[in-house]
Amino acid sequence: MLTLPPLPYAYDALEPYIDAQTMKIHHTKHHQGYLNQLNAGLAEHPALQGYAVETLLRNLESLPHGLQTIVRHHGGGHVNHRLFWTVMSPQGGGEPQGALREALEQTFGSWAAFQETFARAAATRFGSGWAWLVLTPFGELRVYSTPNQDSPLLFGHTPLLGLDVWEHAYYLKYQNRRADYIAQWWEVVHWDQVATYYAQARA
């Protein structure tokens, strides 16, 4: 039985960039909802309950057929949101330094080019989904978006940074203005945590 991890900050901590009401509904209703569905699915497969959700996502094709869609949608929803909360912080914003900064510049040409690439992936995702910065098994950084709750783990990639572009993530404050939400979101990105994920993924 998986339980909802608490946010590492208060619901209003990311104001004014992300409002408290959005954060509270997003965490206690949406994230909890994915967990409820995942728990219900796993309840029928006791032998699989001891595995990390990441492991289930990395091995989706090996799961019982009836469980695959549940893990893809709701297991993905759980791990995507768990990451999302940690890559934001009231002390966020600014720019990454160190090895991550160097790798971003080497991969995308410049810090600005990385930001443009990521923002474009987030803005052009049709419908609901996520924008990602991931590390491939070959040690390369990549930016792309996925539909729905599809996790980069499905492709064997390790997510380092994710941006939720479902309307539930921004509609109360930004309504239809997804581009404004994306632009403001940089102010809360917790680059120290992203750098830690990068170091862990390379280890």
What residues make contact with Mn ion under the rule CB under 5 A?
30, 164, 166
79/195 with CB nearer Mn ion: 79
For residue 158, give both structure tokens.
């390790």
Task: Give the nearest residue (CB) to Mn ion.
Answer: 164
Distance CA 86, CA 7 (A): 8
150/164 with CB nearer Mn ion: 164
Q: Tell me the DSSP string of 149-175.
A: T--GGGGTPEEEEEEE-SGGGTHHHHT
Distance in Å, CB of 57 to Mn ion, minimum: 17
Distance in Å, CB of 169 to Mn ion, minimum: 5
Q: What is the CA radius of gyration of the chain?
A: 17
Distance in Å, CB of 168 to Mn ion, minimum: 5
List all residues 6 or more positions away from 177 whose beta carbon is below 8 Å from its beta carbon. Answer: none
63/78 with CB nearer Mn ion: 78
Distance in Å, CB of 95 to Mn ion, minimum: 25
166/181 with CB nearer Mn ion: 166
Q: Strands 141-147, 129-135: parallel, antiparallel or unpaired by DSSP? A: antiparallel
30/45 with CB nearer Mn ion: 30
Distance CA 53, CA 82 (A): 11
Distance in Å, CB of 74 to Mn ion, minimum: 12
